[in-house]
Amino acid sequence: MVIFLRILRIRIPFLVLLICLFIVNQDVHSQSMGKLRGLVTDSSSGESLAYANIFIKEINSGASTNEHGYYFFPALKANKYYTVTASYLGYKSKTEKVFIAPNKITIAGFKLTPVSVELQTIEKVGKKIVNRNETDLGLKRIAISSIKALPSGVETDVFRSLQYIPGVNFTADVSAKYYVRGGDNNQNLVLLNGAPVYNPFHALGLFSVIDPDMIKNIKFYKGGFTAEYGGRLSTVMDLITVDGNLNKYSGQASLSLLTAKAMVEGPIPHGSFAFTGRKSYSTKILKNFLNDKTIPFDFYDASFKLNYSNQNLIPGAKFILHYFTSNDKLNNKDLFKEDFFWQNNIFGFSWYEVYNIPLFSEMNISVSNFKGKVSPNLSNARTVNNKLQEITFKYKFNYLYDNKDELVGGLQVSSLNTNLLFENNNGLLSHIDGRGSNFVLFAKYKLLRFEQIGLDIGGRYNFTGISKNGANYFEPRISFTYRPFASISVKAAWGKYQQEVTTISDENEVVSLFEPYIIVPQYLKTPRATHYSLGLDIYLTEFWNVQSEVYYKTLSNITAINENKKFSGDPDLVSAKGESYGLELSSDISLGSFRLTTSYTLAYAYKTVDNWLYYPKYDSRHYFNFILETNLGKGWKASLTWVFKTGLPFTPTTGFYQKLLLNDFRGDWDIYSNYIPFSILGDKNIGRLPNYHRMDISLSKAVKLGFAKFFINASIINLYNRKNIFFFDRSTGKQVNMLPFLPTFSVKVKI
Amino acid sequence: MKRKMFILFLFSTAFFITESCEESFTPYGKFATKYSLNFIVRSDTSLQVATVFKSYPLNNNSNVENRNKSFVHNAFIRLWNGKDVVYFLRDSTMVDTSSGMTLSYYYTNEYKPQPGDNLQVEALLPDGNRLKSSTKLPGKITTDSRRSSGIIPSKNGKTVTFAWKPDLNTNPFEENQVFIPTLYLVYKQKIGQNEVLKKINIPWKYQVKNGSEVGINKPPNVTPQINYSMKNFAKVLKSISKGDKNKENYTILSAVLYIKVLDKNLSEYYLSSKRIFDNFSIRLDVQDFSNITNGFGIFGSVIEQKIALVFDKTYISTFGYQSPL
């Protein structure tokens, strides 16, 4: 009660606004009105299609399907036929006449046929109208087919595909870790079927554990995410795995230069299943990524999903069980070399329900486990042993009003347990254990009743905190869209964000095996961020979309490793702050069989640690992306990408001195001659590396032979062999470059 | 046609980019001269050696040249031992007979350090710069009988534990203090009419390398305790009389653990000098520890002490050896 009173006292203006919106929204049920609901699916597999467009000609209005493929029109004049068209990327649009009965929900499902040979461009039917007042600033919905169309560096990778989104930056070819709008990598939330994934990387972070074949939908918020998401300061990547083929058993297998993969899916009574597995079989190709170093990686990942939807049991309900595991081992089999191991295990259950009133609800329970270990043996490596378990319960409902407004609300309860034993730079062992629970209520109101205006206003209230200082904190979120003309929309978003877990990560490391997670220690304030963004979305023609965004982000109490820790009583982490701002422009032209996407980003990022202001390692001032995709006909497709980035910051060497090297003090050790040249460093990150640019191409062919379909892909990474600098080895003065000219090849067979 | 257009576009773009991107880059910033002093006081000798270097702008990758060119001669170096005694270090050079290299250094052969000494050093350089530092020698140590095995073999018959603690009159160990333990079997062998005292290393572990077994000692670490497998004792005990039928000529005296103890500053320097986290992670900047005011380098000390355990007579007799007990 006291807490409620406190909320009321502190957040009265916000709550009053929410309540007013709710009160004025009484459903006006007229006898001559009816509702329309339906599920849009793939006709061949029965897989639901998220974010498909539904357009009704008679009212010149549209809607999108939700994550589960459902659409809903809450108020249509009854006793008449409507022309309803469903369209989706890579599918043939379908139009049907639907009769709306009075005072009930009419159900009209659409089974769309995949367009296998034609260019996978979205049919423009009703697209602009559907998106008229959508409050989606900062949100990018990524089609998995578009990821697969891009040149793949050894493995097609979901995370690497983000590099073409303006505002998203990578620091190296050899790392799939991404940095968005001045935020660090540990400020990115990755959700797999609603469950958080920690350290979702294979093989030194070269690529993610997310196999694109198991993914159905990707929602990526690069900032300004709304009230249903929380727990991180910068971004959210919400990944939904495939449900499995409802109609028939099918399978596929593929082989790249690094891994072998398989997928099996098929129907079960009242549902379907899907199983995917991937395993490394050769790591020779990775020498190109790791400065010619042979590393005995061994990894696998696997996912399983089971869907059950018995309409006789609970009408409108769908139950999902899912499991995901990834495992990486690096066993040197040498007492003088270190061994590594890290593993993710995620188990979840979901209950999604569509009611006979305009209400959707979703309940998720998930358990996410991460274990990571560095066993130094007798090497110079440092001991790291990290265990993490997060148990999450989330309930969300979505109520749709007749006037198109929506009320979304729910609660999230998370329990997190972390254990970390690690050795710091000075060889000091630290043991950090943490345990905490987070109880959050979230609610938002989507004002969509006006054709030209969309408003998403809400917030999250943290009643308890996983960390000591995270409780009783309100995170308000607003996203706004105004469309003064049919082809132009102005968007804005603002929000406050809190993060209660962090990593013990050393920002001087450009490649690391995994970053140990811990709960933000009690001696630090909880990291928080505020996002401001403003955008413009213009359709210059039916086929040419231009978007621009400006953003400003402040980060307070973010954590940085304590470089000055000398005694066990000294803190492992210190508080830091950050600031970033920038401009992002993108253009998307789909014309005939060509699609051209270009983007430009101007970004500034700053970080302050121990009162020292510097550019973080991912601060690239300008970056430009160019993607050209084309369908050459007869199953041939080609794509070309070009990335240009101005140089990343680095700390210059201002000289060398003779550093005394100490061996183990046994036998001969002397102070006379045992010296190496050691770098004297200038101001942190004050220099800039040369510009980065790289061109990749890809050519693929789909061939049908009998009952099997073959997909052959050949890519060339770094076509003109640009010597992009990765880093300078300070001890040798040697320049280490990123990926050289690298042809790669993969083949997939689907039955 | 579409295909031709695409290929033409691709090659023209690649050509344009390749031809237009030549650039020079240097990873170096503005150079300013800095100095380093290295001075590690050893308890096993009265010869104490120091070096002074100045920094240089470019690394020519020749360690010999780098060292010789950057050595600072004619510095005035003084060492105080905390008892109002001052030692002056002399500027000197020598030729390393094994490598033929000329090595420059400063030395004094008058100071034999004692555990617990407080030391200060000051180096006045020819250009007027002054490098200063202080340190304290580690104190005496003694066997921690509560944690140590009393006798060899131990009660559990599998491992033998050597543990040590500060002497009663010595301060507690510094947090993060580094120890370097090396175990030796000390025995006497009768050769003719003479008894010769011998010692042989008992490895901490064995590692198979290139098909043959190699003994290894525990790397420097911060734990004041070490465990040895009884198998290693047995292996070494057998090895000392290999091929000799007259086992009674051997008298096994004890197992002596030599422990080098680094002081607080040298410990920190050593630990931070482990320059990499692992073989695979790549760090851009490497941490550097120094306790030299106004410069780089290290002023520290290392002392060596011993603790011992004796062998059970019955156990020794199983090898056919004699026991002094």
- Structure token pair of residue B217: 């000692």
Looking at the domain assignment, is residue B1 inside a domain? no
Looking at the domain assignment, is residue B177 inside a domain? yes
How sure is the predictor about A137, in pLDDT bands with cuts at 50, 70 and 90?
Answer: confident
The number of residues making up chain A comes to: 751
Mean pLDDT of B159-165: 94
Shared domain check, B252 and B145: yes
Lowest mean pLDDT among A655-669, B115-129, B187-201, B239-253: A655-669
Closest-CA residue of B relative to A627 is B10
Interface-testing mutation among B92, B278, B296, with chain A (most A C-beta atoms within 10 A): B278
Report the C-alpha gap between A379 and A346 in whole angstroms.
32
Say yes or no for a CB contact (<8 Å) between B274 and A380: yes
Is the model's pLDDT at A126 over the cut of 50? no
Using omega within 30 degrees of 0 as the cis cutoff, is the peptide bond preceding B27 cis? Answer: no
Shared domain check, B211 and B133: no
Beta bridge partners of A489: A537
- pLDDT for A30 equals 45
Say yes or no for a CB contact (<8 Å) between B2 and A593: yes
- Which residue in B175, B268, B277 is closest to A381 by CB distance? B277
State the smallest CA–CA distance between residue A1 and chain B in angstroms: 49
Looking at the domain assignment, is residue B148 inside a domain? yes
- Which residue in B2, B56, B67 is closest to A675 by CB distance? B67
Report the C-alpha gap between A153 and A745 in whole angstroms.
9
Say yes or no for a CB contact (<8 Å) between A509 and B289: no
Looking at the domain assignment, is residue B51 inside a domain? yes
pLDDT, tens digit (0-9, with 9 covering 90-100), for A441-489: 999 999 988 888 999 999 999 999 998 888 999 999 999 999 998 889 9
Shared domain check, B86 and B209: no
- pLDDT for B270 equals 87
Shared domain check, B119 and B62: yes
The answer to whether B263 faces chain A, any CB pair under 8 Å, is no
pLDDT, tens digit (0-9, with 9 covering 90-100), for A181-220: 999 999 999 999 999 999 888 876 778 899 888 998 899 9
Mean pLDDT of A300-309: 94
The single-letter code of the amino acid at A692 is: Y
- Which residue in A568, A672, A677 is closest to B59 by CB distance? A677
Is the model's pLDDT at A692 over the cut of 80? yes
- N-term to C-term CA, chain B: 99
Shared domain check, B125 and B40: yes
The answer to whether B292 faces chain A, any CB pair under 8 Å, is no
Say yes or no for a CB contact (<8 Å) between B217 and A666: yes
- pLDDT for A7 equals 46
The answer to whether B298 faces chain A, any CB pair under 8 Å, is yes
Q: Are A510 and A171 in contact (CB under 8 A)?
A: yes
pLDDT, tens digit (0-9, with 9 covering 90-100), for A556-613: 999 988 877 766 677 888 999 999 999 999 999 988 888 899 999 999 999 999 899 9
Shared domain check, B309 and B199: yes
- Give residues with Cβ within 8 angstroms of B97, minimum separation 6: none
- Give residues with Cβ within 8 angstroms of B154, minimum separation 6: B160, B161, B230
Report the C-alpha gap between B283 and B306 in whole angstroms.
39
How sure is the predictor about A300, in pLDDT bands with cuts at 50, 70 and 90?
Answer: very high
- Structure token pair of residue B167: 């002497």
- Which residue in B30, B96, B105 is closest to A654 by CB distance? B30
Shared domain check, B121 and B66: yes
Q: Which of B85, B117, B137 marks a domain boundary?
A: B137
Give the A window 29-58 contacts with B, CB below 8 Å. Answer: none
Say yes or no for a CB contact (<8 Å) between B51 and A660: yes
Mean pLDDT of A517-546: 93
- N-term to C-term CA, chain A: 60
H/E segment holding residue B11? helix B2-19
Closest-CA residue of A relative to B19 is A720
Looking at the domain assignment, is residue B79 inside a domain? yes
Shared domain check, B165 and B45: no
CB contacts, 8 Å: B204 with chain A: none
CA separation, residue B146 to residues A271, B164, B227 (Å): 66, 10, 14
- Which residue in A513, A659, A691 is closest to B280 by CB distance? A513
- Which residue in A666, A676, A733 is closest to B180 by CB distance? A666
Say yes or no for a CB contact (<8 Å) between B96 and A680: no
The answer to whether A678 faces chain B, any CB pair under 8 Å, is yes
Is the model's pLDDT at A262 over the cut of 80? yes
- Structure token pair of residue A300: 């696998």
- pLDDT for A153 equals 66
Is the model's pLDDT at A499 over the cut of 80? yes
Domain carrying residue B117: 35-137
Q: How many domains does chain B have?
A: 2
The single-letter code of the amino acid at A72 is: F
Give the A window 604-643 contacts with B, CB below 8 Å. Answer: 617, 628, 630, 632-633, 636, 638, 640, 642
Shared domain check, B158 and B241: yes
State the smallest CA–CA distance between residue A378 and chain B in angstroms: 7
CATH code, domain with B106 = 2.60.40
State the smallest CA–CA distance between residue A68 and chain B in angstroms: 38
- pLDDT for A8 equals 43
CA separation, residue A656 to residues B55, B56, B66 (Å): 5, 5, 9
Going across the sheet that includes A94-100, the strands are A61-64, A53-56, A80-87, A94-100
Residue recorded with tokens 């993607």:
A627
- Maximum separation of any 2 CA atoms in chain B, in Å: 102
State the smallest CA–CA distance between residue B219 and chain A in angstroms: 7
State the smallest CA–CA distance between residue A260 and chain B in angstroms: 24
- pLDDT for A525 equals 93
Q: Are A254 and A746 in contact (CB under 8 A)?
A: yes
- pLDDT for A297 equals 79
Shared domain check, B208 and B80: no
Please tell me whether the overall predicted TM-score, pTM, comes out greater than 0.80 for this model. yes
- Which residue in B33, B58, B282 is closest to A510 by CB distance? B282
Closest-CA residue of B relative to A680 is B55
Say yes or no for a CB contact (<8 Å) between A378 and B6: no
CB contacts, 8 Å: B66 with chain A: 656, 658, 675, 677
- Which residue in B29, B58, B281 is closest to A687 by CB distance? B29
Report the C-alpha gap between B40 and A671 in whole angstroms.
8
State the smallest CA–CA distance between residue A729 and chain B in angstroms: 8
The answer to whether B70 faces chain A, any CB pair under 8 Å, is yes
The answer to whether A427 faces chain B, any CB pair under 8 Å, is yes
Q: Which of B91, B109, B137 marks a domain boundary?
A: B137
- Give residues with Cβ within 8 angstroms of A36, minimum separation 6: A56, A72, A73, A76, A82, A84, A98, A100, A105, A106, A108
Shared domain check, B78 and B121: yes
Looking at the domain assignment, is residue B109 inside a domain? yes
Report the C-alpha gap between B277 and B297 in whole angstroms.
21
Shared domain check, B255 and B313: yes
Closest-CA residue of A relative to B52 is A658
Closest-CA residue of A relative to B215 is A335
Burial level of B59, CB count in 10 A (0-12/13-18/19+)?
buried
Q: How many CB pairs under 8 A join A and B?
A: 240
Q: Quick one: DSSP state of residue A134? A: -
The answer to whether A686 faces chain B, any CB pair under 8 Å, is yes
**Rounded to 5°, angle at Cα A324 from A319 and A329:** 175
Report the C-alpha gap between A230 and A246 in whole angstroms.
33
The answer to whether B278 faces chain A, any CB pair under 8 Å, is yes
- pLDDT for A26 equals 47
Q: Which of B93, B110, B137 marks a domain boundary?
A: B137
Closest-CA residue of A relative to B54 is A657
pLDDT winner (highest mean) among A59-68, A274-283, A415-424, B177-186: B177-186
- Give residues with Cβ within 8 angstroms of B135, minimum separation 6: B41, B119, B263, B264, B265, B266, B291, B299, B300, B301
Say yes or no for a CB contact (<8 Å) between B277 and A382: yes
Closest-CA residue of A relative to B61 is A732
How crowded is the C-beta side of A19, counted as CA atoms within 13 Å?
7
- Which residue in A290, A657, A673 is closest to B103 by CB distance? A673
State the smallest CA–CA distance between residue A606 and chain B in angstroms: 19
CB contacts, 8 Å: A380 with chain B: 274-276, 278
Report the C-alpha gap between A93 and A612 in whole angstroms.
57
- Give residues with Cβ within 8 angstroms of A378, minimum separation 6: A335, A336, B205, B216, B219
Looking at the domain assignment, is residue B200 inside a domain? yes
Lowest mean pLDDT among A596-605, B25-34, B222-231: B25-34
- pLDDT for A12 equals 46
Averaged pLDDT score across all residues of chain A: 85
Give the B window 174-213 contacts with A, CB below 8 Å. Answer: 175-176, 180, 182, 205, 207
Is the model's pLDDT at B181 over the cut of 90? yes
Mean pLDDT of A380-409: 90
Looking at the domain assignment, is residue B260 inside a domain? yes
Report the C-alpha gap between A275 and A706 in whole angstroms.
24
Mean pLDDT of B3-14: 62
What 3 state SS string does A135-164 have? CCCCEEEECHHHHHCCCCECECCCCHHHHH
Residue recorded with tokens 């007799």:
B317
CB contacts, 8 Å: B205 with chain A: 335, 378
Mean pLDDT of B22-38: 85
H/E segment holding residue B13? helix B2-19
Domains and CATH numbers, chain A: 2-26+33-130 (2.60.40.1120), 238-647+691-750 (2.40.170.20)
Q: Virtual CA dihedral for B186, B191, B195, B201, nearest 10 degrees?
A: -10
Neighbours of A131 (CB within 10 A): 19
How sure is the predictor about A114, in pLDDT bands with cuts at 50, 70 and 90?
Answer: confident
Q: Are A601 and A167 in contact (CB under 8 A)?
A: yes
The answer to whether B51 faces chain A, any CB pair under 8 Å, is yes
Report the C-alpha gap between B6 and A744 in whole angstroms.
20
State the smallest CA–CA distance between residue B176 and chain A in angstroms: 6
Report the C-alpha gap between B260 and A436 in whole angstroms.
44
- pLDDT for B11 equals 63
Report the C-alpha gap between A622 and A645 in whole angstroms.
6
Say yes or no for a CB contact (<8 Å) between B277 and A509: yes
Q: ipTM of this predicted complex?
A: 0.86
Closest-CA residue of A relative to B209 is A334
CA separation, residue A470 to residues A224, A411, A497, A516, A717 (Å): 20, 17, 11, 20, 45
Q: Quick one: DSSP state of residue A79? A: S
Interface-testing mutation among B281, B287, B303, with chain A (most A C-beta atoms within 10 A): B281
Q: Is the dihedral of CA B272, B279, B29, A690 positive or negative?
A: negative
